[in-house]
C-alpha cells in the first residue's frame, strides 16, 4: 500500500483510461491527491475496456471523502489548444504523461500514429510544462529503446542508439527531447523505461491476454522465435508503487554523463529484475486456465527483441523501489479478473 504524503498534490495523468494510467489514477485518488485524467479513447483496442476502467475510477472517487477532486476530460494531447486550456484551468503541480501509441508490431502498420501521439503529443506536453511551471514531469519510455542489446541486464548507462522499431525510436526521441526541455527550461523530468507490464484490466493486444483468450477457446497461440525468448514481466501493482515513489523524488539539476549540459533530468528502468522464459510464462497461464496451449511455433518478428532484463539498481537506490509480486501471484490475479470479466468458468 502506498504511504500517504504529508501534502497532497493536483496531478494530471494523460492516458488515464489506459492500463497503467487507470491504475495510477486509482492509487492517487485513494491516497488523497486531486487528479485530472485525460484520454482520447481511441480504438487501437476495444474502447469498451477503457470505458470500464473509467467507470471503476468514478466508483472509486465516489467513495472518497474530503478535499479530493477528480475530473476526466476526453482529449487528444495532439490538440495543443485544448491541452493548453486544461493547464490554464487547473493549477497542476505534477504531470504524468502516459498517453502514447503503444505496440511494437502495430508501428509497422501505422507509423503516422506513433509520430503524432508519441512525438507531436509529447512535445505539446513539454510546452505546457514549460509555460505553466510544472514542478515534476514523469513520462513513459520503454525497454524497447535497448533494441538488440546483448548485454544483460539492461542498464540506463547502456547505449540506446539503435532502435529496431519505430515505436522504440519514438520513445528514445522522447528521452532526448525531454532532456533538452529540462536543460533549457529547468523542468524537473523523469523518464521511466517500462518492462512488460501485466495485470488486471491489461491491454488485449498484449501477449498474456491473447494467450488467455486462445487457450480458453482451444485455438493456437503464436510463439515467436520458437519460444526462445525472455521478458522481465512486471506486475502492475509494483509499477504503480514505483511511479508514486518517483513522483516524490523530482531530480535535481546536475551535469549528465561526460557532458557539461546540466538538467534536472533522470532516466530509470522500472521492471522486475527477473526475466522469465516465454515457455515458462505460457505454462503459468496454462495452470490458471486449466488447459494446455496449442503452440504455433514461429520465427522472431521484425522489430522484436529476444530478451529483456531490467537493472533497477538506480531506481532502488534513489526511491527504495522493490518489486515483490511473484509471477504466479500476478498471473493468478489477472486470471481472476479475466474470468470474472468474461463470466465464464475455467
Average the pLDDT over 249-269 and give the result: 86
In a domain, 144, yes or no: yes
Tell me whether residue 209 is one of the annotated catalytic residues.
Answer: no
pLDDT for res 3: 37
**Cα–chain-centroid distance for residue 283?**
25
Give the pLDDT confidence score for residue 7 in this predicted structure.
57
Residue 319 has pLDDT above 90, yes or no: yes
Tens of pLDDT, residues 279-309:
999 999 999 999 999 999 999 888 777 888 9
Tens digits of residue pLDDT in 162-204: 998 999 999 999 999 999 999 999 999 999 999 999 999 999 9
Helix axes 278-289, 327-342, angle to 10 degrees: 50
| 151 within some domain | yes
Average pLDDT over residues 43-65: 94
Select which of 70, 114, 167, 208 is catalytic: 167
What sign for the dihedral angle of Cα 19, 159, 105, 217? Answer: negative
Q: Does residue 48 lie within any of the structural domains?
A: yes
Lowest-confidence pick of 13-17, 254-258, 326-330? 254-258
pLDDT confidence bin for 257, thresholds 50/70/90: low
Mean pLDDT of the chain: 92
Residue 27 lies in a domain: yes
The percentage of residues in the chain with a pLDDT greater than 90, rounded to a whole number, is 84
Residue 268 lies in a domain: yes
Q: What is the pLDDT of residues 6-37, one digit of tens each?
A: 457 899 999 999 999 999 999 999 999 999 99
- Whether 41 shows a pLDDT value over 90: the answer reads yes
Per-residue pLDDT reduced to its tens digit, 62-115: 988 788 999 999 999 999 999 999 999 999 999 999 999 988 888 888 999 999
Residue with cell 489514477: 25
- Number of structural domains in the chain: 1
Closest residue by Cα to residue 170 from 121, 206, 243, 125: 121
Average pLDDT over residues 134-149: 94
Residue 290 lies in a domain: no
Check which CATH number belongs to the domain holding 189 and give it: 3.40.50.720
For residue 220, is it within any domain? Answer: no
Has residue 218 got a pLDDT over 80?
yes
pTM: 0.93
DSSP 120: I
Average pLDDT over residues 248-265: 84
Domain membership of residue 123 as a residue range: 10-198+233-273+310-324
Task: Assess if residue 3 is contained within a domain.
Answer: no
pLDDT tier at 254, thresholds 50, 70, 90: confident
Contacts of 313 (CB under 8 A, 6+ apart): none
**Alpha carbons 224 and 264: distance in angstroms, whole number:** 40
Spell out the residues 6+ positions from residue 267 whose beta carbon is closer than 8 angstroms to its own. 141, 156, 175, 190, 191, 192, 193
Amino acid at each position: 500500500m502506498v504511504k500517504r504524503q504529508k501534502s497532497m498534490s493536483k496531478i494530471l495523468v494523460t492516458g488515464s483510461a489506459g492500463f497503467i494510467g487507470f491504475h495510477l489514477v486509482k492509487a492517487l485518488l485513494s491516497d488523497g491527491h486531486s487528479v485530472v485524467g485525460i484520454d482520447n479513447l481511441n480504438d487501437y483496442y476495444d474502447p469498451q475496456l477503457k470505458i470500464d476502467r473509467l467507470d471503476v475510477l468514478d466508483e472509486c472517487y465516489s467513495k472518497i471523502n474530503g478535499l479530493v477532486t477528480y475530473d476526466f476530460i476526453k482529449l487528444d494531447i495532439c490538440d495543443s489548444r485544448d491541452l493548453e486550456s486544461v493547464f490554464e484551468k487547473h493549477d497542476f503541480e505534477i504531470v504524468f504523461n502516459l498517453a502514447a501509441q503503444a505496440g511494437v508490431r502495430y508501428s509497422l502498420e501505422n507509423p503516422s500514429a506513433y509520430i503524432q501521439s508519441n512525438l507531436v503529443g509529447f512535445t505539446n506536453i513539454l510546452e505546457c510544462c514549460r509555460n505553466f511551471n510544472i514542478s515534476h514531469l514523469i513520462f513513459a519510455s520503454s525497454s524497447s529503446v535497448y533494441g538488440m542489446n546483448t548485454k544483460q541486464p539492461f542498464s540506463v548507462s547502456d547505449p540506446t542508439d539503435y532502435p529496431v522499431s519505430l515505436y522504440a525510436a519514438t520513445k528514445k526521441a522522447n528521452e532526448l527531447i525531454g532532456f533538452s526541455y529540462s536543460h533549457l527550461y529547468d523542468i524537473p523530468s523523469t523518464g521511466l523505461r517500462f518492462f512488460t507490464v501485466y495485470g488486471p484490466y491489461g491491454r488485449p493486444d498484449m501477449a498474456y491476454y491473447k494467450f488467455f483468450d486462445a487457450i480458453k477457446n482451444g485455438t493456437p497461440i503464436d510463439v515467436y522465435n520458437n519460444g526462445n525468448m525472455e521478458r522481465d514481466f512486471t506486475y502492475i501493482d509494483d509499477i504503480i508503487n514505483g511511479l508514486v515513489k518517483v513522483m516524490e523524488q523530482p531530480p535535481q539539476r546536475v551535469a549528465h554523463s561526460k557532458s557539461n549540459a546540466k538538467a534536472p533530468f533522470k532516466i530509470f528502468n522500472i521492471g522486475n529484475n527477473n526475466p522469465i522464459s516465454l515457455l515458462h510464462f505460457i505454462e503459468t497461464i496454462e495452470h490458471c486456465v486449466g488447459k494446455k496451449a496449442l503452440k504455433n511455433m514461429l520465427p522472431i518478428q521484425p522489430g522484436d527483441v529476444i530478451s529483456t532484463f531490467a537493472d533497477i539498481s538506480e531506481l532502488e537506490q534513489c526511491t527504495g523501489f522493490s518489486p515483490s509480486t511473484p509471477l504466479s501471484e500476478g498471473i493468478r490475479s489477472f486470471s481472476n479478473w479475466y474470468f470474472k470479466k468474461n463470466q465464464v468458468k475455467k
